[in-house]
Amino acid sequence: MAEPPGVASHPGTFARAWAKAVSGTSYLPMTQAQLEALLDRLTGQLAGALLTEPFDLRAGHRVGAELVAAHIASAEGLGRTVEVIQLRLVRDLGLVAEDVEDRMARLLAAVATGYARALRDRTLDEQESIRRAAMRARTQAERALRASEARFRHQATHDPLTALPNRTLFTERLTAALNEPGRGAQRVGVCFLDLDRFKVVNDTLGHQVGDQLLVTVAERLSKAMGEHLVARLGGDEFVILVEHSGGTDAMVTVAETALAAVGTPALVDGHELQISASIGIVERQIAGANPSDLMRAADSTLHWAKAAGGARWTLYDAERNQRELARYALSAAIPAALERGEFYLDYQPLTSLRDGSLVGVEALVRWRHPELGVLRPDSFIGLAEETGLIVQLGGWVLAEACREAEAWSAGGAAAPFVSVNLAVRQVHRPGLVQEVRALLRQTGLPPERLQLEITESTMMSTAEEPVRALRVLADLGVRIAIDDFGTGYSNLAYLRDLPVTELKVAGEFVAGLRSPSVGRTDERILASLVSLAHALDLTVTAEGVETAGQAERLRAIGCDAAQGWHFGRPAPADRILARIR
């Protein structure tokens, strides 16, 4: 930089003093050397302004503005700048001019003015930037809020995985279809679809593959169903709404189309998956229909399709549904019926075919239902087994049979044993041995007067614990019988290693003995069973004996005992006691 006229020394000395004065008054985004270089340049501008003719204040304005631009923008920084310029600029630079004092005052005012204007402009710029940033932020926030609300609405009505309508939207559409004015005489249909054995895919290949499979199924159903609404209700459940049904045949066509779409092998994540589905179909007139009833009926019908083996459709059957509702109500009433004492036992005699004596009785449970009257076991035992209530009910039967049988000892003659059927769940209970021991101890019934009847399937179970429990009971003296022998595995070989004392031959074989000509085959079968059972030191009781002819033929082939209407119908405990006496 050329030294201005009248400058006696280098401005670097002054610039260093100026830099030292303003250091620390503001955050300066520059090094000390860079600051000194800036102030050295501004020093030259100030010196030139003092000495140049004519005197021009614009240089002071520029210096003030540049200080603000360099972030020397605090009140303290301005004060020190004015102070160092006033005290040292003329002296350090050796400036010589006639009116230098007057020019210095005016120059300092110009620096302050430029500084204030620049600071004001910067503040306004910053405020404008803040305002614009706030507007941008508000706009972005509003846009994000609208997008979030929209997503909350691509989530409230649609399934996030498959993008299909969800339960909410499906229910809205179904409700709208049922409530549309003037459509009461028209018909509507629903196909409730569930993938068969989908859990196997999740368990073996992982949920990621399972989710991809659901997406594939959703795409196929959407494409195959055309105008009909396809929704995902959750899990592997889908539903198809046919708002204008053409009748049952049309709904069957829809269901078969859906099954075909699902049944095509799917390549998912490198795995070729062969899947199938079950569908429950409900189709009815709109008048009188409501969404809840339709979906409940569709759900029940889907379960019928599943129970039938899957990979099929099933039509809703109102009569079947009523029967199942009645069955459900009956099963739900069992616990309360036990508490109210509505169950009781009848006993059917087991009679010796050698001398006609009463050797035992079979306990048969009855239900004195307050509305339906007396119910036989076939009305509720199956329900109890399905729901697991058979453990509670079977425990009551066992306890009541032991209690009543012990009282027969007072009859004076040899009291018969009591035979009680054990369900599969009872046999598999860990506490069976302890339960029987406690009952025998509490009632005083001798172990040899209790017989437990087990089904063939229970004895053929691969589980060792039930067989071990039965061995313990047999060692106590409790009799173990195989019930309905001949209807299951009919394998005498496995009986060698089991704690069995008696076989009860199924009534199907005995029924053939009514006719001398027709029953020859059954008679030969029975004779073989009796012979083999005796070889294993087992006694044989024939069930379902209804005629004297059947009893005679059974006696002739060596059968040990029999039960059936010919020997007496089931009767209460007091009748058994009277017969003993």
Asked whether residue 383 is assigned to any structural domain, the reply reads no
Asked whether residue 176 is assigned to any structural domain, the reply reads yes
Residues 303 and 357 in one domain: no
Q: Is the distance from CB of 429 to CB of 391 less than 8 angstroms?
A: yes
* pLDDT the model gives residue 3: 44
* pLDDT the model gives residue 23: 86
* pLDDT the model gives residue 68: 86
Asked whether residue 536 is assigned to any structural domain, the reply reads yes
Last residue of a domain, one of 128, 156, 191: 128
Q: Is the distance from CB of 177 to CB of 286 less than 8 angstroms?
A: yes
List pLDDT tens digits, range 391-416. 999 999 999 999 999 988 865 558 99
- Burial pattern 324-361, b for ≥16 Cβ within 10 A else e, equals eeeeeebbebbeebbeeebbebbbbbbbbbeeeebbbb
CATH code of the domain containing 63: 1.10.490
* pLDDT the model gives residue 29: 85
CATH code of the domain containing 422: 3.20.20.450
Residues 31 and 88 in one domain: yes
* pLDDT the model gives residue 126: 83
Residues 355 and 291 in one domain: no
Residues 524 and 451 in one domain: yes
Give the SS3 label for residue 515: coil
List pLDDT tens digits, range 322-365. 998 998 899 999 999 999 999 999 999 999 999 999 999 999 99
Residue tagged 């006719």 (tokens): 515
Helix (H) or strand (E) holding 81: helix 75-84
Q: Cβ of 311: how many Cβ atoms within 10 Å? A: 17
The contacts of residue 550 (CB under 8 Å, 6+ apart) are 510, 513, 514, 542, 562, 564, 566
Residues 119 and 199 in one domain: no
Asked whether residue 141 is assigned to any structural domain, the reply reads no
CA terminus-to-terminus distance, the chain: 143
Helix (H) or strand (E) holding 383: helix 381-387
Using CA atoms, how far apart are residues 55 and 140, in angstroms rounded to an integer?
53
Using CA atoms, how far apart are residues 426 and 429, in angstroms rounded to an integer?
5
* pLDDT the model gives residue 473: 96
Domains of the chain: total: 3
Using CA atoms, how far apart are residues 63 and 41, in angstroms rounded to an integer?
10
Residues 84 and 221 in one domain: no
Asked whether residue 454 is assigned to any structural domain, the reply reads yes
Which residue positions in the chain have pLDDT lower than 70?
A: 1-11, 97, 150-153, 155, 410-413, 459-463, 487-493, 515-519
* pLDDT the model gives residue 6: 42
Residues 178 and 294 in one domain: yes
Last residue of a domain, one of 76, 100, 128: 128
Residues 58 and 181 in one domain: no
Residues 404 and 531 in one domain: yes
Residues 177 and 113 in one domain: no
Residues 352 and 310 in one domain: no
Q: Which domain does 298 fall in, by range?
A: 167-316
* pLDDT the model gives residue 461: 62
DSSP strands (E only) in 173-275: 187-195, 229-234, 237-242, 266-268, 271-273
Helices (H), 482-558: 507-511, 520-535, 548-556
* pLDDT the model gives residue 56: 84
* pLDDT the model gives residue 10: 57
- Burial pattern 186-198, b for ≥16 Cβ within 10 A else e, equals ebbbbbbbbbbeb
Asked whether residue 191 is assigned to any structural domain, the reply reads yes
Residues 546 and 437 in one domain: yes
* pLDDT the model gives residue 5: 44
Last residue of a domain, one of 101, 128, 155: 128
Residue 567 CA, distance from chain mean position: 54
CA dihedral 94, 97, 98, 100 (to 10 degrees): -80
Asked whether residue 513 is assigned to any structural domain, the reply reads yes
CATH code of the domain containing 250: 3.30.70.270
Asked whether residue 150 is assigned to any structural domain, the reply reads no
Using CA atoms, how far apart are residues 221 and 240, in angstroms rounded to an integer?
9
